[in-house]
Amino acid sequence: MSGSGACLPGCSSYSFFQWLHQSPEPVPTDLIAVVKPVCGTRKQHLMLLSNVLAQSEALMMGQKNPSEPHRNFTGNRPTNVVLLDELTPYHLGLLLALYEHKIFVQGALWNINSFDQWGVELGKVMAKRIQSELENKRMGAHDSSTTWLMKHVLAILDRDVS
């Protein structure tokens, strides 16, 4: 997925909304909501949806407050709003395939292969080596940080055994 992502289940009162509203660099945000609830009261569900719509509007409009910088909201922060009529298997299929293809589009433009995963290999290879060194208590050549961390792990584990 593109860039670094903050990906969190939403509700307006989470503190990360402070970051979305007031971070130095705006963070484009996808807000995803389901229009028809499966349970709960209408009032409860309207409360939820109001939060989605309000955040999208508030992130764009902001609120200027030059005399109190901590209450200043610059606005002009972009959002996409994705609304599913209901959370059915069909709608879920649409949503997931949308994001799959979005990633493909970006890969195509950036000339990134969206289908391989070589990036996970190096860590795996190193982990195997370190695991075998820890099991055999025979340290190979590492930087001083890694060497200390390995020794520390063994010292604590061995202390608990004895």
Partner 1 sequence: MSGLTAAKEWQALSAHYQQMRPTSIAQLFHDDPARFEKFSLRLDGFCLDYSKNLLTGETVGLLLELARSRGLERLRDEMFSGALVNSTEKRPALHTALRQKNPPPEVQKTLSDMRVFSDAIRSGEWRGCGGKKITDIVNIGIGGSSLGPQLVTEALTAFHLPHLRAHFVSNVEASDLGNTLKTLSPETTVVIVVSKTFTTAETLQNAEQARAWFLERAARSDLDKHFVAISGNVDAARSFGIAANNVFPMWDWVGGRYSVWSAVGLTVMLMAGAEGFRQFLSGAAAMDDHFRSAPLERNMPVLMGLIGLWYRNFCDMPALACIPYHVGLRCLPAWLQQL
Residues 3-62 touching partner 1, rule: CB under 8 A, are 3-11, 16, 20, 25-34, 38-39, 48-49, 51-52, 56-57, 59-61
Say if residues 150 and 142 touch (Cβ distance below 8 Å): yes
Min dist. Cβ of residue 117 to partner 1 (A):
7
Selected range binding partner 1 among 1-9, 65-73, 138-146, 150-158, rule: CB under 8 A: 1-9
Residue with tokens 């484009």: 28
φ and ψ at residue 34, rounded to 5 degrees = -110, 125
Residue nearer to partner 1 on the CB measure, 11 or 149: 11
Give how many residues touch partner 1 by CB under 8 A. Answer: 77
* Joined tokens for residue 35: 């229009």
State the nearest-atom distance from the C-beta of 159 to partner 1, in Å: 20
78: enclosing H helix or E strand:
none
**Judged by CB, which is closer to partner 1: 16, or 148?**
16
How crowded is residue 34: how many other Cβ atoms within 10 Å of its Cβ?
20
Q: How far is Cα 108 from Cα 97, in angstroms, rounded to an integer?
A: 16
Nearer to partner 1, 122 or 141 (CB): 122
Q: Closest separation between CB of residue 144 and partner 1, Å?
A: 27
Residues 6+ apart with CB under 8 A from 60: 75, 76, 77, 78, 79
Q: Least distance to partner 1 from the beta carbon of 68, Å? A: 21
Choice between 63 and 147, CB closer to partner 1: 63
Q: Map residue 29 onto helix, strand or coil.
A: strand
Strand, coil or helix: 27 = coil
Which residues inside 82-141 make contact with partner 1, applying CB under 8 A?
A: 82-106, 108-111, 113-118, 124, 128
* Closer residue to partner 1 (CB): 4 or 144: 4
8 Å CB contact between 137 and 154 = yes
